[in-house]
């Protein structure tokens, strides 16, 4: 029997054949012994595919498993994180839900090259995604593809590059409000629903989740003391949960020595009233901050109110307020206390930090105006 040839007279190797439309086909058995086919427009292209297939089979690469899509790979990787914190699981859920809408994520993992992965990152950037969001996605995609490498699905990880080499990190440092902005904010916010929350956050340095986790029993008006022992959170499905602080340092008591803070808590309790149904969450009830439906407020409720306040202020005033979050108010408290000379260990206790370096390096900020004032004060002392 003569050797099989293509239409150009070239001898075809075992497993190769030319189809009626002029394209080429290669037939082979994968590492599981299953018959597989690949196709190409030219014989040279087909033989390059053959070469890659034979190398993969020799190295034990499961080319059939690599047909999984990028989004299914991410889901598979996310399922290995079920024993991490609820918050971390929610981050994976958000990443899967968001990235599933991207055409790139429908590609098979064995078809994704380094250049494809970099182009995808740049696309996210061009779409207006913030660096922190892209960084979060990248931090999940890279180990997911590394898992595919470890499982012998692909030879190389296409996401094995430095994110900073692809897009600039333009994340703005969380800054405290300066004294002028703080004054303008408090004067304008007095008629807004979030006024008392702003006063409390500025005057105590609480995390917003700690504020939302306070119950009526946690506020001792007689001794002017607040007990911090938990945080209230709500996931993307609308499910509430109570979490204890990450470290023992998070459990603490905050003095209500500032009259404005004391009065703010008084108003919150009075405005709260007695809801028809008291929600119980993980054994706790009587949450201090309630929304209009009588359900406990969470961080996103307060942020929503703050966003509306900023928008309305900036619409009616020539000098705009900067965008800020409840966490910026925590920064502002720490900075104010540090600049007024509060003992570092005391401030560390009030902030609920296990490490004083976190308190000073992350939360206590300084600028030229404050440096000038402090230098003038020291020089005046002599």
The answer to whether residue 205 scores a pLDDT higher than 90 is yes
Query: Which residues, including other chains, have CB under 8 Å from residue 40's CB and lie 6 or more apart?
Result: 23, 24, 26, 46, 48, 49
Instruction: Name the catalytic one among 234, 297, 330, 331.
Output: 330
Indicate the average pLDDT of the chain.
87
- CA–CA dist 162, 146 (Å, integer): 14
The answer to whether residue 382 scores a pLDDT higher than 90 is no
Q: What percent of the chain has pLDDT over 70?
A: 88
pLDDT at 347: 87
* Token duo for residue 266: 């008084």
Instruction: Name the catalytic one among 77, 195, 240, 363.
Output: 363
- CA–CA dist 150, 157 (Å, integer): 10
| Residues shown for the chain | 382
Does residue 246 have an active-site annotation? yes
The whole-number average pLDDT for the span 119-148 is 94
Question: Which is more confident, 110 or 305?
Answer: 305
Instruction: Name the catalytic one among 125, 131, 327, 349.
Output: 327
The answer to whether residue 191 scores a pLDDT higher than 60 is yes
Instruction: Name the catalytic one among 123, 217, 246, 312.
Output: 246
- CA–CA dist 354, 364 (Å, integer): 15
Query: Which residues, including other chains, have CB under 8 Å from residue 121's CB and lie 6 or more apart?
Result: 134, 138, 163, 166, 167
The answer to whether residue 87 scores a pLDDT higher than 80 is no
The label of the residue with tokens 């900036």 reads 314
Does residue 363 have an active-site annotation? yes
Does residue 311 have an active-site annotation? no
- Does the pTM exceed 0.75? no
Q: Could you please state the CATH topology (level 3) that the domain comprising 67-165 is classified under.
A: DNA polymerase; domain 1 (1.10.150)
pLDDT-derived band at 264 (thresholds 50, 70, 90) equals very high
* Token duo for residue 93: 């859920």
pLDDT at 344: 85
pLDDT-derived band at 150 (thresholds 50, 70, 90) equals confident
Does residue 327 have an active-site annotation? yes
The candidate with the shortest Cα–Cα distance to 46, out of 79, 10, 92, is 10
Going through the chain in order, the beta strands assigned E by DSSP cover: 16-18, 24-29, 35-40, 219-220, 225-228, 231-234, 240-243, 252-255
- Classified as helix, coil or strand, 241 is strand
27-81 pLDDT per residue, tens: 988 766 788 888 999 999 999 888 888 877 776 666 655 578 999 999 989 988 8
What are the φ and ψ backbone dihedral angles of 273, each rounded to 5 degrees?
65, -150
DSSP 250-276: G-EEEE--SHHHHHHHHHHHHHH---S
Instruction: Name the catalytic one among 140, 207, 230, 295.
Output: 207
Q: Could you please state the CATH topology (level 3) that the domain comprising 179-377 is classified under.
A: hpI Integrase; Chain A (1.10.443)
289-321 pLDDT per residue, tens: 999 888 999 999 999 999 999 999 999 999 999
Question: Which is more confident, 55 or 13?
Answer: 13
pLDDT at 249: 85
């Amino acid at each position: 029997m003569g050797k099989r040839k293509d239409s150009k007279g070239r001898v075809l190797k075992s497993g190769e054949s030319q189809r009626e439309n002029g394209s080429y086909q290669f037939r082979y058995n994968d590492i599981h012994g299953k018959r597989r086919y690949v196709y190409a427009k030219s014989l040279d292209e087909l033989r390059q595919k053959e070469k890659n297939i034979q190398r993969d089979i020799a190295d034990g690469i499961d080319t059939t498993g690599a047909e999984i899509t990028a989004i299914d790979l991410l889901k598979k990787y996310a399922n290995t994180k079920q024993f991490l914190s609820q918050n971390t699981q929610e981050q994976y859920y958000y990443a899967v839900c968001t990235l599933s809408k991207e055409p790139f994520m429908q590609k098979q993992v064995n078809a994704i090259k380094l250049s494809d992965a970099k182009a995808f990152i740049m696309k996210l950037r061009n779409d207006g995604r913030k660096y922190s969001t892209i960084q979060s996605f990248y931090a999940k995609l890279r180990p997911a593809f590394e898992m595919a490498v470890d499982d012998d699905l692909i030879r190389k990880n296409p996401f094995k590059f430095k994110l900073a080499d692809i897009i600039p990190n333009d994340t703005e440092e969380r800054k405290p409000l300066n004294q002028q902005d703080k004054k303008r904010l408090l004067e304008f916010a007095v008629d807004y629903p979030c006024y008392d929350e702003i006063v409390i956050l500025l005057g105590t340095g609480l995390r917003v989740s700690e504020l939302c986790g306070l119950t009526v029993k946690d506020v001792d008006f007689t001794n002017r003391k607040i007990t911090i022992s938990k945080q209230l959170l709500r996931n993307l499905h609308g499910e509430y949960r109570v979490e204890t602080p990450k470290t023992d340092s998070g459990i603490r008591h905050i003095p209500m020595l500032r009259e404005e803070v004391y009065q703010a808590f008084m108003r919150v309790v009075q405005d709260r009233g007695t809801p028809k149904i008291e929600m119980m969450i993980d054994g706790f009830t009587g949450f201090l901050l309630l929304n209009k439906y009588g359900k406990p407020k969470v961080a996103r409720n307060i942020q929503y109110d703050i966003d509306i306040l900023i928008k309305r202020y900036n619409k009616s005033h020539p000098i705009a307020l900067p965008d800020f979050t409840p966490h910026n108010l925590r920064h502002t408290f720490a900075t104010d206390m540090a600049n007024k000379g509060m003992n570092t260990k005391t401030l560390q206790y009030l902030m609920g930090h296990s490490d004083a370096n976190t308190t000073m390096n992350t939360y206590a900020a300084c600028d030229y105006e404050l440096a000038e004032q402090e230098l003038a004060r020291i020089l005046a002392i002599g």
